[in-house]
Copies of this chain bind each other. A is one copy, B any other.
Amino acid sequence: MKTKILQKLKETEGYISGQELCDVLGISRTAVWKYMNKLKEEGYQIEAIPNKGYHLLHVPDVLTESEIKSRLCTKWAGKEIHCYERVDSTNQAAKHAAEQGSLHGALFLAEQQSSGKGRRGRSWVSPKGTGIWMTILLRPQLEPSYASMLTLVAALSMSKAIEKETGLKAQIKWPNDVVINGKKVCGILTEMSAEMEWIHYVIIGLGTNANIEEFPEEIQKKATSLKLESGKEVERVPVICAFLSYFEKDYENFMIYQNLLGLLEEYNERLVNCEQEVRILDSKGEYTGVAKGVDASGALIVRKEKGETVKITSGEVSVRGIYGYV
- Chain A interface residues (CB < 8 Å from chain B): 95, 99, 119-120, 143-145, 147-148, 151, 175-176, 189-198, 200, 313-316
Q: List the B side residues contacting A120 at CB < 8 Å.
A: 195, 198
Question: Contact between B144 and A196 (Cβ–Cβ < 8 Å)?
Answer: no
With A145-B144, A192-B193, A193-B192 already in contact, the answer to whether A119 and B198 are too (CB < 8 A) is yes
Among all A-B residue pairs, the 4 with the closest Cβ atoms: A148-B196, A145-B145, A197-B315, A193-B193
Q: Which of B99, B151, B193, B200 contacts A196 (CB 8 A)?
A: B151
Question: Contact between B194 and A194 (Cβ–Cβ < 8 Å)?
Answer: yes
Question: Contact between B195 and A193 (Cβ–Cβ < 8 Å)?
Answer: no
Question: Contact between B191 and A195 (Cβ–Cβ < 8 Å)?
Answer: yes
Interface of A is mostly: mixed
* Residue of chain B at shortest CB distance from A91: B195
With A and B bound together, what is the CA distance between A143 and B283 in angstroms?
13
With A and B bound together, what is the CA distance between A192 and B188 in angstroms?
20
Known: A148-B197, A191-B200, A194-B194. 4 other contacts (CB 8 A): A120-B195, A151-B196, A190-B196, A197-B313
Q: List the B side residues contacting A148 at CB < 8 Å.
A: 196-197
* Residue of chain B at shortest CB distance from A150: B196
* Residue of chain B at shortest CB distance from A148: B196
Question: Contact between B314 and A196 (Cβ–Cβ < 8 Å)?
Answer: yes
Question: Contact between A195 and B119 (Cβ–Cβ < 8 Å)?
Answer: yes
Q: List the B side residues contacting A99 at CB < 8 Å.
A: 95
Q: List the B side residues contacting A147 at CB < 8 Å.
A: 196
Q: List the B side residues contacting A196 at CB < 8 Å.
A: 119, 147-148, 151, 175-176, 190, 314
With A and B bound together, what is the CA distance between A189 and B144 in angstroms?
15
Q: List the B side residues contacting A176 at CB < 8 Å.
A: 196
Question: Contact between B193 and A191 (Cβ–Cβ < 8 Å)?
Answer: yes
Question: Contact between A194 and B195 (Cβ–Cβ < 8 Å)?
Answer: no
* Residue of chain B at shortest CB distance from A175: B196
Q: List the B side residues contacting A195 at CB < 8 Å.
A: 119-120, 189-191
* Residue of chain B at shortest CB distance from A190: B196
With A and B bound together, what is the CA distance between A253 and B144 in angstroms?
25
With A and B bound together, what is the CA distance between A144 and B314 in angstroms?
12
State the Cβ distance, A258 to closest chain B Cβ, in Å: 11
Q: List the B side residues contacting A119 at CB < 8 Å.
A: 195-196, 198
State the Cβ distance, A193 to closest chain B Cβ, in Å: 5
* Residue of chain B at shortest CB distance from A99: B95
State the Cβ distance, A75 to closest chain B Cβ, in Å: 25
Q: List the B side residues contacting A197 at CB < 8 Å.
A: 148, 313-316
State the Cβ distance, A115 to closest chain B Cβ, in Å: 13
Q: List the B side residues contacting A314 at CB < 8 Å.
A: 196-197
8 contacts between A and B (CB under 8 A): A119-B195, A119-B198, A151-B196, A175-B196, A190-B196, A191-B200, A192-B194, A196-B314
State the Cβ distance, A90 to closest chain B Cβ, in Å: 15
With A and B bound together, what is the CA distance between A99 and B41 in angstroms?
36
Q: List the B side residues contacting A192 at CB < 8 Å.
A: 144, 193-194
With A and B bound together, what is the CA distance between A281 and B147 in angstroms?
24
